[in-house]
Chain A
């Protein structure tokens, strides 16, 4: 059986849905094939009993207040025809980077971070202001194709290595597919989205955004097929023809946009000349705890805590199952408003995919239990005043991430090889999402939008 569409999109994550909305808006027939029974991809959700949980990023970065002009958030809202208020964004209170006992607080007002640098590293504050000035010059930056070191760029302004690591921690943690360092353009984009714009959370979690996208896509006549896995991307003379699904159905399409990752996409292409992009090394493990008390009832006001028990931060694949030196702790209750009536705590650390993948079932369970114990110890060290009763716990590992997102090696930030222009080398096979190189929820939406605009809608326009 064969079905024909203008565009086939692989993956109903945020970038795929954004692309689908744009294309359907301008009259294209669009089908999204999603291997799971749930949308969202890397930023999704699940339910246990009556409890709902987000998986993926801790926060929606790029927050700006309603009416703020010329920022990525307002761009995606206009392109997708979404009202600002419908996202119900709730701002963070404040977050902190904590190395042993030294902490630097920051919020959605950059002045707090500047004053914290001035207080803890007085000799560095002039350099830090200069760094901000040089980051502010850039607008609408795209990830670059050739890697230039962000560490080198920042080193021109910041001399203290501990402060450098403190600045890099949230940035690397929310989007770097490369260890220790990242491309300078990506650094600038992330610095703007994390420190100069800020953190927020949609009321109801990431599902609020996903539901808006689904409603839009459906209203525009788009077709979304769950439990339809693409087995093969079909090409002829280096031009895409469509894709073969796991039910044996062939979908013909003028364009195929894949949001499932660069190496993942190329592995579906049957051709001897395709490139083999590197598989990413960054994969996390996350423990979710529910307590009968909210953090604020225990005098804990931070929204996210980036903790290291050393003077430095090592952003790299650990040689052990879990990196025991650092954890980032998200407290969703400490966004300005939150629907959770219990205390929810997410502890996320870097992990070693290969080890988790090698554990047999008894060992796997035992290792997960060890992670729970380690997470409880970390909580004790970082927030000693926390004293509620533990009501629920869950752990998801790099293996879980691979199973649900399809990302090789559970690499949440994808391959270190990015395709900023989305062109795969196979005609009309385009890439969007994580491996285009735009970062965060707003970034990934922008990715789906720009790939559709650049390669399909405006191409049509120019005839």
Chain B
């Protein structure tokens, strides 16, 4: 099956942001379906930074009521992909 390039790009965008915040974390073996918070040392301040970086880099806005959508990489891709296309 061919991967959807658009989905891959959104994933990469999020992973790049996280790796710029948590410089000491190894993101190569991250489980896309599992909670980011459980796998990485990320707290609410860091999630706010992810949101601010999304706005800064891609002009993508995430209102605070949608923060739970960023819980896993999978849910990030699902939630953010339509916003990246706009």
Q: Which residues of A contact B (CB under 8 A)?
A: 26-27, 66-67, 69-70, 74-75, 77-79, 81-85, 449, 453, 457-458, 461-462
Contacts and interface: CB of A to CB of B under 8 A. Distances in A.
Interface in B7-62: 20-24, 41-43, 45-46, 48-49, 51-52, 56
A449 B42 CA distance: 16
A79 B24 contact: no
Chain B residues touching A, range? 10 to 19
Contacts of A85: 24
B38 to A, nearest CB: 10
B17 to A, nearest CB: 11
A373 to B, nearest CB: 48
A442 to B, nearest CB: 14
Contacts of A82: 23
Interface of A is mostly: helix
B47 to A, nearest CB: 11
Contacts of A70: 41, 43
A66 B45 CA distance: 20
Contact of A69 (B20, B41, B45): B41
A75 B43 contact: yes
Given A69-B41, A75-B45, A457 B52 contact: yes
A66 B22 CA distance: 12
Given A70-B43, A79-B46, A83-B24, 18 more contacts: A66-B24, A67-B24, A69-B41, A70-B41, A77-B23, A78-B42, A78-B45, A78-B46, A79-B45, A79-B49, A81-B20, A81-B23, A84-B23, A453-B45, A453-B48, A457-B52, A461-B51, A461-B52
A74 B41 contact: yes
Nearest to A68: B41
Residue among A26, A66, A70, A78 facing the most chain B CB atoms (10 A cut-off): A78
A66 B42 CA distance: 15
Contacts of B20: 81
A77 B24 contact: yes
Contacts of B56: 26-27
A27 B56 CA distance: 8
A245 to B, nearest CB: 31
Contacts of B49: 78-79
A81 B46 CA distance: 11
A63 to B, nearest CB: 15
Contacts of B48: 453, 458, 461
Contacts of B64: 462
Contacts of A457: 52
A457 B52 CA distance: 9
B1 to A, nearest CB: 36
Given A27-B56, A453-B48, A458-B48, A81 B43 contact: no
Contacts of A453: 45, 48
7 contacts: A26-B52, A74-B24, A75-B43, A79-B45, A81-B20, A453-B45, A458-B48
B21 A78 contact: yes
Contacts of A79: 45-46, 49
